[in-house]
Amino acid sequence: MKKRILLLIKIPPPITGATLMNKQVYDSECIRQNFDIRSITLSYANSVSDLGKVNFSKIKIFLKTIIRLNKELIFERPNVVYFQLSPIGFVFYRDLIYIIFIKFFRVKILFHLHGKGISEMASNRIQYLLYRFAFKNSDIICLSELLKYDVKPVFDGKIHIVNNGIPEMGKPKPKTENLTENEKVKLLFLSNLIKSKGILDFISALKLLNKRGIPFRAIIVGGEGDINKEELNIALKKNNLTSIVEYVGPKYGKEKKEIYAVCDVVVFPTKNDTWGNVILEAMQFAKPVVATNEGSIPEIIDNGVTGFIVDKAAPEQIAKKIEFLINNTGTRKKMGIAARDKYLEKYTVSIFENNLSRVFDKV
């Protein structure tokens, strides 16, 4: 008899790294073949800018979810509830209510953490006790070994490591090494326009490169967040970048694939992240990545081999690494090839599904 697992997960919209990974779990034929999967899918917000806000629609979704969760727990009796917990902020207390109901029915919880900040919040005694209650008699999945530290102050149970993995969008196509004036090295920033993703640091780095006379073009891809299109354009104009930097909004599917195909370097200067699937996408397309020393990133990027790691909030460092990659075509391409090899070795969707299935077997 197959183990019955109830998925309690947030899926798009909005599109974030966590909701996309949850959708992969939900859609996985591999997982459904090996386990009796039931699911409650949640979508509280229509856009990234709506995250964290409370309104009547979200309260209605929450109440409906409570009713459905109790029906599942009473009548379907899952062996395990697989739950993507929001670990900090107001939404943690919302998720804590789900946890109370699950624990009341004595069903084991497998938490998959896509966020962080627990160790910092646990300095508050009440918060510490709430985390201890939430995680008691449960298992936790962290995205990498580098993130274990965040739960250890409040959890002494089993921690599983499951790296993210993504589907193949397309194979990289070779580009000519002799770039013309109209084919300058293209830099890509792909993320929602959120300050914590480092968009302003990216712009500052581009300003430095432009002042030094380094030739480049840049593309910014992503939906509006706590920075909107107008504010972004003002920042580009202020830094004299409007003629060499283009904002194209959010792109998905074929359009996103085409952008990766024409870019040369991906820059991800995030200040607060656990993972960063954009790095895996870049690796898939054999593009070196310049990213910050944040979350799991130092585990994903082999510094100096598949890309470069820089300090957070350090536009000068970002600019120097970009300049090196612009000026060293051979090294840039070699790094891209190494990045794709690592993607194929560790971060494909099939590897992710198999690793998650092994955890499901163990709990």
Backbone angles phi, psi at 54, to 5 degrees: -105, 130
Strand partners, 187: 218, 265
179: pLDDT confidence band, cut at 50, 70 and 90? Answer: low
Averaged pLDDT for residues 156-167: 98
Mean pLDDT across 210-234: 97
pLDDT tens digit string along 20-30?
A: 999 999 999 99
Binning pLDDT at 50, 70 and 90, where does residue 49 land? low
The answer to whether 265 touches 290, Cβ cutoff 8 Å, is yes
Whether 199 and 121 share a structural domain: no
Flag whether 133 is in a domain. Answer: yes
Tens digit of each residue's pLDDT (9 = 90 or more) over 2-26: 999 999 999 999 889 999 999 999 9
- 160 shares its domain with 68: yes
In a domain, 175, yes or no: no
106-120, 180-194, 210-224, 301-315: lowest mean pLDDT where?
180-194
Nearest of 190, 195, 188 to residue 231 by alpha carbon: 195
Q: Is residue 219 part of a domain?
A: yes
Give me the phi and psi of 204, to 5 degrees please: -65, -40
Please check whether residues 57 and 205 belong to one and the same domain. Answer: no
Given a cut of 90, whether residue 177 has pLDDT beyond it is no
8 A C-beta contact, residue 111 and residue 138: yes
Say yes or no: 20 and 156 in one domain: yes
Of 37-51, 86-100, 319-333, the poorest mean pLDDT is in 37-51
Assign residue 239 the CATH number of its domain.
3.40.50.2000
More reliable by pLDDT, 273 or 172: 273
Question: Quick one: pLDDT at residue 202?
Answer: 99
Task: Please give the order of strands across the beta sheet that includes 265-268.
Answer: 245-249, 217-221, 186-190, 265-268, 289-292, 307-310
Distance of alpha carbon 53 from alpha carbon 55, whole angstroms? 7
Q: Do 325 and 220 belong together in one domain?
A: yes
Strand ranges (E), the chain: 4-10, 36-42, 80-83, 108-112, 139-142, 159-161, 186-190, 217-221, 245-249, 265-268, 289-292, 307-310
- Please indicate, yes or no, whether residues 151 and 43 belong to a single structural domain of this protein: yes
Looking at this protein, which amino acid is placed at residue 29?
A: E
- Average the pLDDT over 168-180 and give the result: 66
Residue 47 has pLDDT above 90, yes or no: no
* Residue 65, in any domain of the structure: yes
| pLDDT at residue 84, as a whole number | 97
Give pLDDT, residue 170.
75
Q: What is the pLDDT of residues 186-196, one digit of tens each?
A: 999 999 999 99
Residue 244, Cβ neighbours under 10 Å: how many? 16
Bond preceding residue 153 cis, omega within 30 of 0:
no
Q: Is residue 337 part of a domain?
A: yes
| Co-location of 93 and 131 in the same domain | yes
State the Cα–Cα distance between residues 34 and 140, nearest whole angstrom. Answer: 21
Residue 173 within any structural domain of the chain: no
Its domain, for residue 283, covers 181-346
Whether residue 112 is found in the same domain as residue 196 = no
Query: Domain check: are 140 and 236 in the same one?
Result: no
Q: What is the pLDDT of residue 181?
A: 46
278 in the same domain as 294 = yes
Retrieve residue 103's tokens: 């624990």
Is residue 176, in this structure, part of any structural domain at all? no
- The mean predicted confidence, pLDDT, of the chain is 95
Q: What pLDDT sits at residue 51?
A: 72
**Token representation of residue 133:** 């209650």
The answer on 357 and 318 residing in a single domain is no
Q: Is 348 helix (H, G, I), strand (E, B) or coil?
A: strand
Considering its fold, how many domains does the chain have in total?
2
Whether residues 70 and 146 fall in one domain: yes
The partner residues of 186 in beta bridges, in order of sequence, read 217
CA atoms of 178 and 180, how far apart (whole Å): 7
Amino acid symbol at 307: G
Residue percentage of the chain with pLDDT more than 70:
97
356 within a domain of the structure (yes/no): yes
Angle of CA points 324, 327, 330, to nearest 5°? 95
DSSP 8: E
Residue 235 has pLDDT above 90, yes or no: yes
State the average pLDDT over residues 63-73.
98
